[in-house]
């Protein structure tokens, strides 16, 4: 099927979630799904229904709430997986648009078939066909992926795709599962498949590229130039290992180089930066400053020659406008005098539903406390504040009660902390190399978690010295990796909150829905 539209299939909530520590709660998935709908993505892959009851529930709820994007569940090519996916997307099938998709996959490379699946080629073809037929019992929108297509033999790929199209698959996805390809051969592979597979003109051809060699976007675009009309991608390029193709780069390349592609997407580009910030806040994965489109420096001109050129004529050095992708749209939303109704309304506009009046009241109280410290409250502040609210709704073992840190030139930094540990309050103090180090040591004097700190990062949520600092810590214990986050205008307090949030996640195993663990 060749049209002028490239379908944007977002897999932030499934493949993106497979990044270490990026597992999300149901509420977090819902918030991201609402933003993806606003962004205009055609398909939201909301998770992997058979992986856990929690992920099933998250997909089911997203399928219920989202009307303007198709909601999809991944499923291995097994009856149990496909039926779970079918049940998870049911609410979407009740919408007038019947916008639920099942995405089933099986590996087709020799290395995977022999070593992982221990299946023959005939068995793989039979199972793939069967999976598509099971899926068709639930929806007419069935996608089939040949996992590790990049290392699969062309003749066998053609045979599998012939068979699944005959069985009724409507989208055929060609994944570079291991990020091995380079642009020219990847485009050629797509063109050859479209030329050789029977019924190729009846289906949408899709590409799904991982970024192990840093070429996921280039490979995806090469596939598009050779006939693919669906790109699977994630916000900020999040995903397994080095990530997936980044949605914002794919979309903006197609849009900015319309002269070359002559294609379109239905994405509302002004929602790109808000989506990037939301995903970064929720997953704790910061965006590198020089990242294309969504990095803080993506539109900053440092050199005098560039600045002079841009001032005289913008297009001398700019191929896109910052405002077109949602920069500078961070509206000053609320202030110290804003009331509860204005707060509720703005949350609603941002697609945030706190679920109960009590939660709204608690969030409003935090908002007032923040507004006392920070005169201007932006959407990003509200997202961080609400993330904190969802975090504190979970069963928290540890809560910050009090923190005092002394830091002075020539003196060793010293922290005194009081935590509630369940029903008990505990106090400890410690010295450290810096105020944050002293704080973490004081916490450990109480908790003695045995967790290893893999990452500590601080980002300012908005600009200015009164901005909230958003701290991310990545902790590992017993093979489990979690990201903890905390935001505050005081970065030492934000650090303590982030560290405690990480420890709480390690304590409450059920709360995140990481299907891969
Ligand atoms: O990378 C991959 O092959 C996948 C498939 C499940 C599409 O994520
Ligand atoms: Zn993948």
Residue range of the domain that includes 119: 7-283
**Would residue 245 count as lying in a domain?**
yes
Q: Evaluate: CB of 11 within 6 angstroms of ligand 1.
A: no
Residue 510 pLDDT grade (very low, low, confident, very high; cuts 50, 70, 90): very low
pLDDT at 414 over 90: yes
Q: Evaluate: CB of 208 within 6 angstroms of ligand 1.
A: yes
Segment 341-365, tens digit of pLDDT? 888 888 887 777 777 888 888 888 8
Q: Output the domain CATH number for residue 114.
A: 3.20.20.70
Residue 37 pLDDT grade (very low, low, confident, very high; cuts 50, 70, 90): very high
Name the residue of 78, 105, 169 to mutate for ligand 1: max ligand atoms within 8 A of Cβ: 105
Atom number, ligand 1, closest to the C-alpha of residue 148: 3
Segment 66-105, tens digit of pLDDT? 999 999 999 999 999 999 999 999 999 999 999 999 999 9
Give the pLDDT confidence score for residue 349 in this predicted structure. 75
Specify whether 91 is located in the same domain as 140: yes
Q: How far is the CA of 177 from the centre of ligand 2 (A)?
A: 5
SS3 69: coil
Specify whether 423 is located in the same domain as 315: no
Instruction: State the angle between helix axes of 491-507 and 379-393 in degrees (0 to 180), rounded to the nearest 10.
Output: 40
Ligand number nearest to the C-alpha of 48? 1
**Would residue 515 count as lying in a domain?**
no
Q: Among residues 390, 412, 431, which one ends one of the domains?
A: 390
Mark residue 194 as left, alpha or beta (left: phi above 0; alpha: psi -120 to 50; beta: remaining): alpha
R_g (Cα) of the chain, nearest Å: 24
Specify whether 86 is located in the same domain as 199: yes
Backbone angles phi, psi at 429, to 5 degrees: -135, 160
Distances (CA, A) of 92 to 70, 73, 183, 256: 8, 11, 36, 33
**Would residue 291 count as lying in a domain?**
no
Residue with tokens 């099927």: 1
Q: Evaluate: CB of 145 within 6 angstroms of ligand 1.
A: yes
**Would residue 123 count as lying in a domain?**
yes
SS3 103: strand
CA distance 310 to 78: 56
Element (H, E) at 357: helix 357-373
Name the residue of 147, 150, 178 to mutate for ligand 1: max ligand atoms within 8 A of Cβ: 147
**Would residue 460 count as lying in a domain?**
yes
pLDDT at 516 over 50: no
Q: Output the domain CATH number for residue 486.
A: 3.30.160.270
pLDDT at 289 over 60: yes
Q: Evaluate: CB of 171 within 6 angstroms of ligand 1.
A: no
Give the pLDDT confidence score for residue 373 in this predicted structure. 77
Picking from 239, 449, 147, 251, the residue whose alpha carbon sits closest to that of residue 440 is 449
Distances (CA, A) of 406 to 295, 420, 468: 34, 22, 20
Lowest mean pLDDT among 19-28, 365-374, 388-397, 466-475: 388-397
Q: How far is the CA of 174 from the centre of ligand 1 (A)?
A: 9
Residue 266 pLDDT grade (very low, low, confident, very high; cuts 50, 70, 90): very high
**Would residue 292 count as lying in a domain?**
no
CA distance 163 to 141: 17
Task: Tell me what the mean pLDDT of segment 377-383 comes to.
Answer: 78
Residue 429 pLDDT grade (very low, low, confident, very high; cuts 50, 70, 90): very high
Atom number, ligand 1, closest to the C-alpha of residue 232: 7
Mark residue 284 as left, alpha or beta (left: phi above 0; alpha: psi -120 to 50; beta: remaining): left
Q: What burial class does residue 410 get, using C-beta atoms within 10 Å of its C-beta: 0-12 exposed, 13-18 middle, 19+ buried?
A: exposed
Is the separation of the CB atoms in 461 and 469 below 8 Å?
Answer: yes
Picking from 197, 200, 206, 129, the residue whose alpha carbon sits closest to that of residue 172 is 206
Give pTM, 2 decimals: 0.82
Backbone angles phi, psi at 4, to 5 degrees: -90, -5
Q: Evaluate: CB of 45 within 6 angstroms of ligand 1.
A: no
Name the residue of 76, 146, 175 to mutate for ligand 1: max ligand atoms within 8 A of Cβ: 175
Q: Which residues are within 8 A (CB) of 371 and not within 5 positions of it... i.e. 6 or more apart?
A: 334, 335, 336, 338, 377
Q: Number of structural domains, the chain?
A: 4
Q: Evaluate: CB of 105 within 6 angstroms of ligand 1.
A: yes
Give the pLDDT confidence score for residue 515 in this predicted structure. 42
Specify whether 159 is located in the same domain as 179: yes
Count of positions (residues) in the chain: 517
Specify whether 158 is located in the same domain as 11: yes
**Would residue 294 count as lying in a domain?**
no
Name the residue of 145, 157, 234, 245 to mutate for ligand 1: max ligand atoms within 8 A of Cβ: 145
Greater pLDDT, 289 or 430: 430
Task: Tell me what the mean pLDDT of segment 283-288 comes to.
Answer: 86
Ligand number nearest to the C-alpha of 243? 2
Q: Evaluate: CB of 170 within 6 angstroms of ligand 1.
A: no
Picking from 402, 433, 429, the residue whose alpha carbon sits closest to that of residue 415 is 429
Specify whether 92 is located in the same domain as 176: yes
pLDDT at 511 over 60: no
Specify whether 320 is located in the same domain as 434: no
Greater pLDDT, 433 or 384: 433
Q: Evaluate: CB of 144 within 6 angstroms of ligand 1.
A: no
Specify whether 52 is located in the same domain as 105: yes
Specify whether 41 is located in the same domain as 70: yes
Segment 309-337, tens digit of pLDDT? 777 777 888 899 999 999 875 555 677 77
Q: Evaluate: CB of 175 within 6 angstroms of ligand 1.
A: yes
Specify whether 209 is located in the same domain as 162: yes
Specify whether 216 is located in the same domain as 361: no
Picking from 238, 239, 282, 233, the residue whose alpha carbon sits closest to that of residue 253 is 233
Atom number, ligand 1, closest to the C-alpha of residue 175: 3
Q: How far is the CA of 12 from the centre of ligand 1 (A)?
A: 12
Give the pLDDT confidence score for residue 517 in this predicted structure. 37
Give the pLDDT confidence score for residue 296 in this predicted structure. 84
Task: Tell me what the mean pLDDT of segment 188-209 comes to.
Answer: 98
Q: How far is the CA of 151 from the centre of ligand 2 (A)?
A: 14
**Would residue 514 count as lying in a domain?**
no
Specify whether 65 is located in the same domain as 192: yes
Q: Mean of the per-residue pLDDT values for the chain?
A: 90
Greater pLDDT, 351 or 395: 351
Q: Evaluate: CB of 10 within 6 angstroms of ligand 1.
A: no
Task: Tell me what the mean pLDDT of segment 239-259 comes to.
Answer: 96
Give the pLDDT confidence score for residue 352 in this predicted structure. 77
């Amino acid at each position: 099927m060749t049209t002028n539209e490239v379908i944007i299939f977002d897999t932030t909530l499934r493949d993106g979630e497979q990044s270490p520590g990026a597992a999300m709660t149901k509420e977090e998935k819902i918030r991201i799904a609402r933003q993806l709908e606003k962004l205009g993505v055609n398909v939201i892959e909301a998770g992997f229904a058979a992986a856990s009851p929690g992920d099933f529930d998250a997909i089911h709820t997203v399928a219920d709430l989202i009307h303007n994007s198709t909601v999809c569940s991944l499923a291995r090519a097994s009856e149990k997986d496909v039926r779970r996916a079918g049940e998870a997307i049911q609410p979407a099938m009740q919408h007038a648009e019947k916008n639920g998709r099942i995405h089933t996959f099986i590996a087709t490379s020799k290395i995977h078939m022999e070593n992982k699946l221990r299946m023959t080629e005939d068995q793989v073809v039979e199972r793939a066909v069967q999976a598509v037929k099971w899926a068709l019992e639930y929806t007419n929108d069935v996608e089939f992926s040949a996992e590790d297509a990049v290392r699969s033999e062309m003749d066998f790929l053609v045979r599998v795709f012939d068979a699944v199209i005959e069985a009724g698959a409507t989208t055929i996805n060609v994944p570079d599962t291991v990020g091995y390809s380079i642009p020219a051969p990847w485009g050629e592979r797509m063109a050859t498949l479209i030329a050789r597979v029977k019924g190729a003109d009846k289906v949408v051809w899709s590409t799904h590229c991982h970024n192990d060699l840093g070429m996921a976007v280039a490979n995806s675009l090469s596939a598009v130039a050779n006939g693919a009309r669906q790109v699977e991608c994630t916000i900020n390029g999040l995903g397994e290992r080095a990530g997936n193709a980044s949605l914002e780069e794919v979309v903006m390349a197609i849009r900015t180089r319309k002269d070359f592609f002559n294609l379109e997407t239905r994405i509302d580009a002004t929602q790109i930066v808000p989506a990037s910030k939301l995903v970064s806040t929720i997953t704790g994965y910061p965006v590198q400053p020089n990242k294309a489109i969504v990095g803080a420096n993506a539109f900053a001109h440092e050199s005098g020659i560039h600045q002079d050129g841009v001032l005289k004529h913008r297009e001398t050095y700019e191929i896109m406008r910052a405002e077109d992708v949602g920069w500078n749209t961070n509206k000053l939303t609320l202030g110290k005098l804003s009331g509860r109704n204005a707060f509720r309304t703005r949350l609603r506009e941002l697609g945030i539903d706190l679920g109960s009046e009590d939660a709204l009241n608690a969030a409003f109280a935090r908002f007032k406390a923040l507004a006392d410290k920070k005169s201007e409250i932006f959407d990003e502040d509200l997202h961080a504040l609400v993330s904190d609210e969802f975090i504190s709704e979970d069963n928290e073992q540890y809560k910050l009660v009090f923190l005092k840190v002394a830091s002075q030139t020539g003196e060793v930094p010293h922290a005194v902390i009081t935590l509630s540990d369940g029903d008990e309050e505990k106090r400890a103090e410690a010295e450290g190399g810096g105020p944050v180090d002293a704080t973490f040591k004081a916490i450990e004097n109480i908790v003695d978690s045995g967790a290893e700190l893999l990452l500590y990062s601080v980002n300012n949520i908005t600009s200015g010295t009164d901005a909230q600092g958003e701290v991310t810590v990545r902790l590992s214990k017993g093979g489990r990796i979690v990201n903890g986050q905390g935001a505050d205008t005081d970065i030492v307090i934000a650090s303590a909150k982030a560290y405690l949030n990480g420890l709480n996640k390690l304590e409450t195993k059920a709360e995140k829905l990481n299907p891969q663990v």
